[in-house]
Structure 1
Amino acid sequence: MKAIRRFTVRPVLPEPLQPLSGLARNLRWSWHTETQELFRSVDPERWQAVAGDPVRLLGNVSAARMADLAKDRRFLRRLAAAADDLDDYLHGRRWYQSGDGGPDTTEFPAAVAYFSPEFGVTAALPQYSGGLGILAGDHLKAASDLGVPLIGVGLLYRHGYFRQSLSRDGWQQEHYPVLDPNELPLDLLREADGTPAGVSLALPGGRLLHAHIWVAQVGRVPLLMLDSDVEGNGPGARDVTDRLYGGGSEHRLLQEMLLGIGGVRAVRAYCRVTGHHAPEVFHTNEGHAGFLGLERIRELGESPDKGGSGLGFDAALEAVRAGTVFTTHTPVPAGIDRFDRDLVARHFADDAELPGVPVDQVLQLGTESYPGGDRGLFNMAVMGLRLAQRANGVSRLHGAVSREMFSGLWPGFDAVEVPITSITNGVHAPTWVAPEVFRLGARQIGPGRAEDALSVGGSSRWDAVANIPDAEIWELRRSLREQLVLEVRERLRASWRQRGAGAAELGWIDGVLDPDVLTIGFARRVPSYKRLTLMLRDRRRLTELLLHPTQPIQIVVAGKAHPADDGGKRLVRELVRFADDPKVRHRLVFLPDYGMAMAKKLYPGCDVWLNNPLRPLEACGTSGMKAALNGSLNLSVLDGWWDEWYEPDFGWAIPTADGAATDDDRRDELEAAALYALIEDRVAPRFYDRGTGGLPDRWIEMVRRTLTTLGPKVLAGRMVREYVERLYTPAARAHRALDASAAEELAGFKARVRAGWPQVAIDHVEAVDQDAGAGAAATAGLGSTLTLRVQARLGELRPDDVEVQAVAGRVDADDAIRDAQTFPLKPSSGPDLEGRWVYEGPMALDRTGPFGYTVRVLPAHRLIPAGADMGLVALPSEAVGQDAGMLMR
């Protein structure tokens, strides 16, 4: 008989056990081993049955067991210690409050709002699909460890992403279990009178979209999650937050409007109810939340009696840009959300959302107004960049790729000058480092210092790994590999049962994998560019590697294809069918339903982490970082973070066949052959090469170098500190400088400059070698100084409105300037009768070889960053600049 209604009955804990509730409902337990062990001791069997979820555990433990624990003095002492530790963690001074490391904490923002479409905090809160969500979860956790006053903002998907299983023939199947927020580690945000706090959005046709606000406490950081499955919404509106990355264009648009616009309103409600500091900085993690900028423009446009500043659109836009950070995660245009302009226009019309914000201005923000762009589409990343004064990619290489990809938004500037910087991702070590690895480090430097090293960093603490004996490191690696073998067999058996196999067919699983064989891991989403099946390119050669008589390898693979990606599903099936072959199935396995719980076993248990994307399409690739923190060595294409930090001392680089001359098929063939050769000639021999003590000395040294050298670099704590110092603090400073009056001033300046820019031109450039006393020559000596004299027309603009610069550096065969330096030029006279100003200034010649320079005029204002911020530049015509080259000697 099926229930007609479902609700949750929460446990009533005995008074001495009340602190368990607070420990369970703060997700710090998900990365705090001692708290997990406390919950495990409540009921070890049930802890295993509920997959390590304290909220579910407390709802399933018998009253008799609770009564016993309430009288257990040893347990109560442990409980009191855990509760005190959490209280100290939540309220003690941390890096952000102390300024340890140099930054002036008075400059730090009072609070930062961090928006993301997905958050991977713990498997007990399945609101993630892949790397973007895991990164967002790690960002929140690291911010909590550092004391950064962050507020996370996302959506609560009632079905999460999806659970993956396999059919008998290996085809991916999706399942969408219903998630009841009352059974999750969440609390409903309530007003002072106890009613649920909520937000509403106006939809076309006079409809409303309502959402409640659930709060997950991630250590010190609140994560606000909007839920549209509430009474008062019609069926379509209730389903807006049904699935992560599901539905058609309008469904996705509504999700992103709720995330961005509704998210800002949720932050305002949270701060009003709790007294939390209002954010000075808004950070959008990818373009999905880009509409948050429009809501903030609407807020500023309201009259002062309604809490706004009465700003016009242009002034409000400047104020919003000053305090906004945009992070792009995709290196390919196809990975960006784009909507039909008419669909967007309908949802921002007068009878829909954001009244008072002109719909044509909204559309302009997302228009691909550059060569090759589709003006019929609304691009969320383009809008994100136009609404943020600061933007970044997620690795050094990805920053360069992003500057090239979005360079059309800044015409006239070289890609290197596009204002997109990079902060390389990191991972939250307390989440991803196996307890056994942590304990080994803690024995060496002490538990407190080990925890601090994982959370905050500090290379001196990591250097202590050098003193751990080889035998202990190797025994740990063998133990972790053995744990993975047992985990794989258990998961593989469950998968085959789901595929319809009976117990009599599965005896072979007891022989799958060997704890003494070199183990390679490959686990990630399955878009085509990540090349799940590159390893299958030459199946004969792969089989030889798997079955090598003295140096065999074994491979554990996992990954999900998007439900709408049949191409990705075919790749999964291709690999599964190979792994089903009785000849190799004990050496290569595919594990379905890849998620955080599986990953925590997979990363530590693998000796080598494999990554073979098409370069440069991997924005960062943080899975290899998590493996490295557990002593796994990386075997990867030089892409993402590995391109930045690879050294032969702690891993291997797979050679690539980049270049337009190589077609995709040939490229895969060449790179697969290089992968096989690396494994056969270098990786496997080093693993199996035993020294005099029976240990693989050279392999252990690589593990040691991985931990000491890469360890401090790949931490999310390092990443968040960089965000605070390089992006959040400058954004907060700009936000404070741009009050209503300054915003109006800046908007007026930009309007005046844009109107007058067509009249700005460079008429003449000449150079005088001060040492030679002559005019521009074909050569000049190292160390000499040129005086540049430029005639520039400014039209209606004044010298204070612009900056005139010389740009100089070495030139290549095409006369393109490389490693450019800029030299400011100052007005010396003008205007003449034709409106020309003369600018002069010195240019030092400090390098030899082919050298060149040019000059340019840029807008300049105290409230905008120097360079390409406005996307306006005046350059010499070819006739003016034709003799600007110079050869150094």
Structure 2
Amino acid sequence: MSHLQTFRVLPDIPEALSFLEVLSRNIWWCWQYDAVELFRRIDPRLWDGCGRNPILFLTYIPQKRLEELAADKSFLSHQERVRSQFQKLACAGRGDNGSLPARRYAVAYFSMEFGIHESIPLFAGGLGILAGDHLKAASDMDLPLVGVGLLYRQGYFRQFLDQDGWQQEEYPETDIYQLPIEKAKDARGDDLYVSVAGPDGDITAAVWRLNVGCVPLYLLDSNVSVNPREIRDITSKLYIGEEKMRIAQEMLLGIGGMRALAALDIHPAVCHMNEGHSAFSSLERIAQIRENHHVDLKTALEIIPRTTVFTTHTPVSAGNEEFPVELIRPYLVPLEERIGATADEILSWGQAQGAPPDSPISMFVLGAHMARYCNGVSELHGQVARRMWTHVWPEVPEYEIPISHVTNGVHIPSFLSRELALLFERYIGPEWHHHPSNPGNIRRVDDIYEEEVWRAHVMCRARLIRTCRKLMMRQYKRRNAPKEMLRDAELVLDQDIMTIAFARRFATYKRANLLLQDPERFEALLTDKNRPVQFIFAGKAHPRDHEGKELIKRLVQFARKSEIRNRIVFIEDYDIHVARFLVQGADVWLNTPRRPLEACGTSGMKAAINGVLNCSILDGWWCEGYAENRGWKIGSGEEYVDPAYQDAVESQALFNVLEEEVVPCFYDRKNGDIPVRWVKMMKNSMKMGMGIFCSHRMVAEYNGRFYDPAREHLFELLSEGASRARKLAAQRKKVNALWGDIRIQPPIQETEGPFRVGEKLHMTTLVDLGDLAPEDVTVELFYGLVQSADRVMSGKAKKMEMLEAHGGGRYLYACDITCRVSGRYGFTARVLPAGDAWARFQPGLLLWA
């Protein structure tokens, strides 16, 4: 209907229960066990039926029940306990945009998706869950951080399987009035809107705010009446497949997101781009820095990278986004004057040096070009990323490419079982979750009795089995399955059998079919009478990934065999809610990616904190997490050229480790006692998760290594009319103009060899700097053990000091090196620009002797 007007009726909440409405409007409740239980105790079935969405839940509670609760002293006491915890938050009193002074110079965290809770469908998978955990941990730590994302009306798809096991997708419309969001307001108190000029007209977006504890998350929504239908659809679905719409989404996220923050009087000191989707934010930020601080483009380009963090998650070149220049250009032309550069120059920032002008725009290259702090998400992924992007820094040795790593972590209170949380409160202390990685807290895990740990886990496994039966019944009913199949669904799985879970995105490289490489051996594992095993599979394939869908279909059809159908199930529509049951209740978390294609993978971390033992390929985070006393490895971290051969070898390795190590350990019980060795491994797994792989550690690392230094850079560079930044810009201009005149001769070994360990060598080299001065450059001796005729393994750089000026721009440089390890060494010399890490490794500014 056209010209439809609306009104809304809210529940009549008694005054004594008014805090419930306050609580429902801040998603903080979702990681507070007591707060979740406060809602749940009102009506457990209704709570579950409403998708654990408190706003929807409160609208369905009968008025009579509300009146009962208002007079229930036990409930009111529980509510007061939660209210007290909420009010202890440093941010609890911040009600509107104007009360965020501490966040004016905050970290702005941009992400295409945010997985905070299953009732807020703004995520697709691990990237979004990580972003949600980042905000939660920042809130717990009261970090000055704001999130920026998009508000999707349909979000990611719901998954259903047809009779043959083929994945079907549905995109249900989200009722935004059932989400804990509110319209952001501008300085006049009006609803805030921002616009981005696009090829088909302005893209106007409303700005909404979602409170994640202390952290405001601002979400842009193009579904507003002033937009034509095609523009309204920009924020309809997460990761729209059509390229033109995808670019519009990312322009709105980056450029529109920065404009929204400016309209809210939030001027971030640091921008953190979570993947390349938000790389366009740097373009708008350049314009804002120029306007607010009256600097030219060259000066702005000294400020922006030194105050920007860029996290890459994709370990495959093909997975990194690239867009045609003709689709990007229309968005850049309107920015030319504000940025101070032509569209062609701006486009070149997203292309590797020397690439033709019509080369696609790489979102990685644009992100890296604009960020001094660039990182992968695990130690192995950092190595893979450096190897992947050598062409962006062609003269730099692989191990010196400026991509580091910060290993991901998970928000422990969001995923820890209630049973273990109670044990932690009793043995570690009621405030343990505020500092989960505190070494003292971790040591106290050893004080928990093994029997109590096992009993808690048995309860979690039983709950998982009941949930799987319920979900399988729902799946079969939806397909109108016959009664016999419904009866079978009621009896799937066994509460006392070792349970292995495989739950993740069904991309082919994750190899959900590795067990099906040997179906007879797999079946024997499932049907062993003495030591039986059961499997739970879950996960979605991308709608356009037909190979991934084929994997699901093959698994489902294998699971229908009469001999095993009660020992293997596939759970549809994997989401945070289902994941919570799996990571809390499984015995083993199985992970079989084709190394090194998994950047990190965080589901195994969520399992680990619950004492679920990981059995995984040594890829992603497990390279750092694996130890014999807390899980198992499949293979020894080999990498293969032939994928088929790799699958065949590692399939056998998987069966071997399950049959010879995992299953015997689980069933190793003397006189019917608990599996003592298994439980000790569970406790080690929990300690590992708390200490190394929690989001508090991750966010603290980002803060200490990146955010704090970047914030200091901003204040330093902008002080005294941005004089420091202007000097850096002038220096870069000078070095760029004169770099081609530099010549460096091969270094000379002044001392005859061979040498003994402990002896010193004196090295010299002659450098012609032309019109540059010694303070404009850094001259280094580069040396290391020789791997081949022209390759040095893990070379070291030693700064050479200017010894003599020979006139005419020529200088003699020298240094001493100490022989510390025997072997055959190679050495050379090089010249780099003087300055910080950002200045040193600018593409094209590295000269070798």
- The TM-score range, normalised by the shorter chain, is over 0.9
Inter-partner Cα distance in structure 2 for 1:620 and 1:325: 18
Give the conservation status (yes or no) of the 8 Å contact 1:560–1:594: yes
Inter-partner Cα distance in structure 2 for 1:780 and 1:406: 37
Give the conservation status (yes or no) of the 8 Å contact 1:859–1:870: no
Distance 1:482 1:6, change over 3 A: farther
Distance 1:825 1:194, change over 3 A: closer
- Out of 525, 539, 550, the residue aligned to residue 519 of structure 2 is 539
Shift of 1:570: 1.3
- Out of 546, 550, 553, the residue aligned to residue 570 of structure 1 is 550
Q: Does 1:67 align with 2:67?
A: yes
What is the CA deviation profile of residues 678-699 of structure 1, one whole-angstrom value per residue up to 9, with x for unaligned ones? 1011110111111246221211
Shift of 1:783: 1.5
Q: Does 1:586 align with 2:580?
A: no
Inter-partner Cα distance in structure 2 for 1:657 and 1:687: 25
- Out of 726, 736, 751, the residue aligned to residue 715 of structure 2 is 736
Q: Does 1:217 align with 2:235?
A: no
One-letter amino acid matched to 1:697 = V
Q: Does 1:337 align with 2:326?
A: no
Distance 1:810 1:864, change over 3 A: closer
Shift of 1:362: 1.5
Q: Does 1:716 align with 2:695?
A: yes
Distance 1:792 1:398, change over 3 A: same
Q: Does 1:809 align with 2:784?
A: yes
Distance 1:286 1:432, change over 3 A: same
Distance 1:828 1:664, change over 3 A: same
Inter-partner Cα distance in structure 2 for 1:423 and 1:718: 10
- Out of 579, 590, 615, the residue aligned to residue 595 of structure 2 is 615
Inter-partner Cα distance in structure 2 for 1:536 and 1:5: 56
Shift of 1:375: 5.2
Inter-partner Cα distance in structure 2 for 1:603 and 1:759: 60
Distance 1:43 1:284, change over 3 A: same
Distance 1:170 1:467, change over 3 A: same
SS in 1 for 2:547: helix
Distance 1:670 1:585, change over 3 A: same
Shift of 1:108: 12
Partner of 1:148: 143
Inter-partner Cα distance in structure 2 for 1:574 and 1:396: 34
Give the conservation status (yes or no) of the 8 Å contact 2:378–2:407: yes
SS in 1 for 2:168: strand
Q: How does 1:297-376 map to 2 (within 5 A)?
A: 297-302=286-291, 308-350=292-334, 356-369=340-353, 376=359
Shift of 1:614: 0.7
Inter-partner Cα distance in structure 2 for 1:379 and 1:629: 37
Partner of 2:96: none
Shift of 1:866: 6.5
Partner of 1:879: none
Partner of 1:440: 423
Give the conservation status (yes or no) of the 8 Å contact 2:595–2:639: no
- Out of 392, 401, 410, the residue aligned to residue 409 of structure 1 is 392
Inter-partner Cα distance in structure 2 for 1:70 and 1:252: 49
Which range is displaced more, 687-696 or 118-127?
Answer: 687-696
Return the TM-score normalized by structure 2.
0.95
Shift of 1:606: 0.6
Shift of 1:807: 1.7
Partner of 2:413: 430
Distance 1:337 1:7, change over 3 A: farther
SS in 2 for 1:709: helix
Inter-partner Cα distance in structure 1 for 2:497 and 2:354: 54
Which range is displaced more, 820-829 or 404-413?
Answer: 820-829
Partner of 2:665: 686
Inter-partner Cα distance in structure 2 for 1:542 and 1:752: 67
Partner of 2:173: 178
Shift of 1:202: 1.2
Q: Does 1:872 align with 2:845?
A: yes
Shift of 1:645: 2.2
Distance 1:16 1:109, change over 3 A: closer
Q: How does 1:783-822 map to 2 (within 5 A)?
A: 783-822=758-797
Shift of 1:870: 5.0
Partner of 1:397: 380
Shift of 1:194: 4.4
Q: Does 1:756 align with 2:738?
A: yes
One-letter amino acid matched to 1:798 = A
SS in 2 for 1:476: helix
Partner of 1:33: 33
What is the CA deviation profile of residues 122-154 of structure 1, one whole-angstrom value per residue up to 9, with x for unaligned ones? 011011000000000000001111111110100
Partner of 1:387: 370
What is the CA deviation profile of residues 677-720 of structure 1, one whole-angstrom value per residue up to 9, with x for unaligned ones? 11011110111111246221211121121122343111100000
Distance 1:263 1:219, change over 3 A: same
Partner of 2:817: 843
Inter-partner Cα distance in structure 1 for 2:483 and 2:561: 18
Partner of 2:196: 201
Partner of 2:115: 120
What is the CA deviation profile of residues 637-680 of structure 1, one whole-angstrom value per residue up to 9, with x for unaligned ones? 001110112111111110168445x4211111111111011101
Give the conservation status (yes or no) of the 8 Å contact 2:526–2:564: yes
Distance 1:299 1:709, change over 3 A: closer
SS in 1 for 2:600: coil
Inter-partner Cα distance in structure 1 for 2:384 and 2:576: 29
Shift of 1:515: 1.1
Inter-partner Cα distance in structure 2 for 1:109 and 1:803: 37
Inter-partner Cα distance in structure 2 for 1:125 and 1:352: 37
SS in 1 for 2:304: helix
Q: What count of residue pairs does the alignment treat as equivalent? A: 838
Q: Percent identity?
A: 40
Give the conservation status (yes or no) of the 8 Å contact 1:656–1:671: no
Give the conservation status (yes or no) of the 8 Å contact 2:145–2:215: yes
Inter-partner Cα distance in structure 2 for 1:725 and 1:852: 36
Q: How does 1:274-293 map to 2 (within 5 A)?
A: 278-293=267-282
Distance 1:691 1:872, change over 3 A: farther
Partner of 1:887: none
Q: How does 1:651-670 map to 2 (within 5 A)?
A: 651-655=631-635, 658-659=638-639, 662-670=641-649
Give the conservation status (yes or no) of the 8 Å contact 1:203–1:352: no
Distance 1:732 1:421, change over 3 A: same
One-letter amino acid matched to 2:33 = T
Partner of 1:829: 804
Give the conservation status (yes or no) of the 8 Å contact 1:109–1:732: no
- Out of 231, 238, 259, the residue aligned to residue 237 of structure 1 is 231
Distance 1:69 1:791, change over 3 A: same
One-letter amino acid matched to 2:298 = D
Distance 1:252 1:814, change over 3 A: same
RMSD between superposed Cα atoms in Å: 2.3
Q: Does 1:23 align with 2:23?
A: yes
Which range is displaced more, 851-860 or 422-431?
Answer: 851-860
Distance 1:783 1:171, change over 3 A: same
Distance 1:7 1:573, change over 3 A: farther
Inter-partner Cα distance in structure 1 for 2:847 and 2:588: 52
One-letter amino acid matched to 1:811 = V
Give the conservation status (yes or no) of the 8 Å contact 1:561–1:568: yes
Shift of 1:87: 1.1
Inter-partner Cα distance in structure 2 for 1:388 and 1:709: 31
What is the CA deviation profile of residues 11-43 of structure 1, one whole-angstrom value per residue up to 9, with x for unaligned ones? 232222221111111111111010111112223
Distance 1:339 1:353, change over 3 A: farther
Inter-partner Cα distance in structure 2 for 1:4 and 1:409: 54
Partner of 1:559: 539
Inter-partner Cα distance in structure 1 for 2:498 and 2:673: 16
One-letter amino acid matched to 1:140 = L
Partner of 2:128: 133
